[in-house]
Amino acid sequence: MAGLEAPGAPTAGKRAQQVQTSVTAAWTAYVAGGARSADAHVDRALARLVDIGSWTTLQMEKGTLTTSQGAAVQALIDRIEEGLSSFPAPS
pTM: 0.78
Residue 50 lies in a domain: yes
Predicted pLDDT of residue 50:
93
Domain count, the chain: 1
What pLDDT is stored for residue 26 in this prediction?
86
Is residue 3 a part of any domain in this protein? no
| 91 pLDDT tier (thresholds 50, 70, 90) | low
Q: For 5-59, what is each residue's pLDDT tens digit?
A: 667 778 778 888 888 888 888 888 888 888 788 888 889 899 999 999 998 999 8
Q: Which residue range is the domain that position 25 belongs to?
A: 9-85
Evaluate whether residue 29 is within a structural domain: yes
- pLDDT at position 87 is 79
SS (H, E, C) the chain: CCCCCCCCHHHHHHHHHHHHHHHHHHHHHHHCCCHHHHHHHHHHHHHHHHHHHHHHHHHHHHCCCCHHHHHHHHHHHHHHHHHHHCCCCCC
